[in-house]
Amino acid sequence: DQHSLSTMLTALDGRGYASYKQLTGSYDLGNLRLSVDKVQVDPFAPPSLMRLRVSRTQAALPAELLSDHHGRVAAGDFLTRAFAARLRTGREEPEDRSAISIGTPGQQVLERTSVLITQDFIEVRIAVSLPAAGRRALGRRAARLLTQTLPRIAQDSLLGAGLDVDALRDHVTLYRDQAGLRSQLTDRGLICFLADGSVLPRRAGDSDHPLEGDVVAFRSPDALRVSFELPSGRTLTGMGVPEGISVIVGGGYHGKSTLLRAIERGVYPHVAGDGREWVITRADAVSIRAEDGRAAAGVDISPFISGLPSGTDTRSFSSTNASGSTSQAANLVEAVEAGASALLIDEDTSATNFMIRDERMRQLIPAEHEPITPFVDRVRPLFTERGISTVLVAGGSGAFFDVADHVIVLQDYTLRDVTAQARQIAMENPTSAHTSAADPPAFAEVAARVPRRGSLRPAKKTKPARSRGRETIQYGPEDVDLAAVTQLVDVAQTEAIAKALDRLAESADGTSDIAGMVTALLEQVEAEGLDSLSTHRGHPGHLARPRAHEIHAAINRCRSLKILDAPVRD
């Protein structure tokens, strides 16, 4: 078989590129089985999709590391990284190695389709750019690539001496410990945990790697110090941010945003050495920011904005170009609809008029002439009525002192609890009452939003949705802009959401609601695996698991979306 593949490819040498098509099929390469699922039509098309399978007995990975879902996710991530590292450093021809890709995992450990581990086999899913000279097939080079380079790299990274079993064990143990800690947060009444010694700052604005050099390691303030016992037996000490309302204050540049950003990323587990591997946040904490210009469809933003001079009904608000405050309100309400139990908000990325209104302005403009009820008046009801906590960065305003359960200050990157002081200041400088127990509930039950039949598919859409980088999904003639969806961290997640959109467009039958559709899709992924998001049999593409919140975020940013019974405006 190895022979026949080699012979076939050699015979293609110098022929038209399209003759590679006949490669489709499966081949035995020693103890590996190569399946060619999809062959590119020309050298500039997306690369060809192939899988390499090895039996579990051949691979001989310690069974106890693969015995649970967490173990398989971590081991799959480990093998993906090992394969990618081997592609960068092998002694094979660089042009052969650079023709092969398995995706590039970042600092987060995500469930991925790049390596599938089952009872019987381990399968590596790769993309291969088949070699060309102009529009001719370079069959001989392809033969070397597929029958020599590729098997050798797979041997080394999956089977041979290149597989570092101790490192694999550490990787799996860390991931299980992180998941174990996260699973205890709710019972302990915590939103997140940051271990003492963590390194939060990043090297640069566009880098997700830890800052080196003059770093102040994280240290928990006495008042919020907690300990966790991990499944491995290890004990960790650090800060637990409790449920309720926590406000982070401090001077500019003292590290507030860095702390909040680490908490925001803590919904995902990070690799050892990242500095944030022991920053663990509830999986359903959602970052909320202003995003002017976004589209919104049928969102009930009336707890925050009502009585617009135009007469617009904000219980079902639609816009093609939302303002700073309305976009932040929509982001918040949609996060609640998607099941968020905690909100993370930074003053740097918030609309001021959404967050606060000061005393003087309250005196000049009476409440009945101000459509916006600022977040400072709603953050308490959000917790008391809906059980949703908030962690907030506010260095520029003491308005939240009255409503905060905890106020912590960052000074020179070091935390201190100043709740008592902040309360004292609030008492000595009273503001007009924000809300009182006598007020009617601020938040109605979130109404289910049902997309109109077909409205989840833009007009004139023919091709499947696909990702273009982390921030964009090309969806027919429209681009879904996810730049402001900051907890989407990997292009493979974006690609998975693109596939999800195509699936959900089909199930938008005019009776199903968004939350129900997303839940059903994720239940299917849970039961059948991440591969099932793809309609292709065999290689599913390079997908990583997104959270429900980011799928919701993509749906909500589709400009074609129309909600049933919501008045259409623009």
Compare residues 86 and 276 and give the one whose CB is closer to Mg ion: 276
Binder of residue 60, out of ligand ADP, Mg ion, none (CB less than 5 to 8 A by kind): none
- Interface stretch with Mg ion, choices 52-60, 236-244, 254-262, 373-381 (CB under 5 A): 254-262
Binder of residue 134, out of ligand ADP, Mg ion, none (CB less than 5 to 8 A by kind): none
Q: How far apart are the first and last CA of the chain?
A: 62
Q: What's the rounded Cα separation, in Å, for the pair 261 and 252? A: 15
Binder of residue 397, out of Mg ion, ligand ADP, none (CB less than 5 to 8 A by kind): none
Binder of residue 253, out of Mg ion, ligand ADP, none (CB less than 5 to 8 A by kind): ligand ADP
Q: How far is the CB of 330 from ligand ADP (least distance, A)?
A: 25
CA distance readout (Å), 326 to 18, 296, 361, 365 = 52, 9, 20, 19
Q: How far is the CB of 220 from ligand ADP (least distance, A)?
A: 13
Question: DSSP letter at 23?
Answer: G
Q: How far is the CB of 331 from Mg ion (least distance, A)?
A: 19
Compare residues 133 and 215 and give the one whose CB is closer to ligand ADP: 215
Q: Quick check: 181 and 173 in contact, CB under 8 A?
A: no
Compare residues 355 and 551 and give the one whose CB is closer to Mg ion: 355
CA distance readout (Å), 280 to 25, 177, 239, 333, 406 = 44, 10, 11, 24, 19
Q: How far is the CB of 268 from ligand ADP (least distance, A)?
A: 20
CA distance readout (Å), 101 to 14, 48, 163, 472 = 24, 10, 19, 21
Q: How far is the CB of 245 from ligand ADP (least distance, A)?
A: 19
Give how many residues touch Mg ion by CB under 5 A. Answer: 3
Binder of residue 198, out of Mg ion, ligand ADP, none (CB less than 5 to 8 A by kind): none
494 forms part of the interface with Mg ion (CB under 5 A): no
What track of x and - describes contact with Mg ion for positions 339 through 378 (by CB under 5 A)?
A: ---------x------------------------------
323 forms beta bridges with: none
Strands (E), 412-499: 414-417, 466-467, 472-475, 478-481
Compare residues 414 and 431 and give the one whose CB is closer to ligand ADP: 414
Q: How far is the CB of 398 from Mg ion (least distance, A)?
A: 17
Q: How far is the CB of 252 from Mg ion (least distance, A)?
A: 7
Q: Which residue is nearest to Mg ion (CB)?
A: 257
Compare residues 252 and 440 and give the one whose CB is closer to ligand ADP: 252
Binder of residue 200, out of ligand ADP, Mg ion, none (CB less than 5 to 8 A by kind): ligand ADP
Helix (DSSP H) and strand (DSSP E) numbers for the chain: 16, 23
Longest dimension (CA), the chain: 87
Q: What's the rounded Cα separation, in Å, for the pair 548 and 546? A: 7
Which residues are CB-contacts of 273 (< 8 A; sequence separation ≥ 6)? 210
Which residues are CB-contacts of 528 (< 8 A; sequence separation ≥ 6)? none
Q: How far is the CB of 94 from Mg ion (least distance, A)?
A: 43
Structure-block tokens of residue 95: 């042009």
Taking residue 291's Cβ as centre, other Cβ atoms within 10 Å add up to 22
Compare residues 147 and 220 and give the one whose CB is closer to ligand ADP: 220
Which residues are CB-contacts of 420 (< 8 A; sequence separation ≥ 6)? none
Which residues are CB-contacts of 268 (< 8 A; sequence separation ≥ 6)? 108, 109, 110, 489
- Interface stretch with Mg ion, choices 117-125, 251-259, 460-468, 524-532 (CB under 5 A): 251-259
Contact set with ligand ADP (CB under 6 A):
200-201, 211, 215-216, 250, 252-258, 413
Q: How far is the CB of 292 from Mg ion (least distance, A)?
A: 19
Interface residues toward Mg ion, by CB under 5 A? 256-257, 348
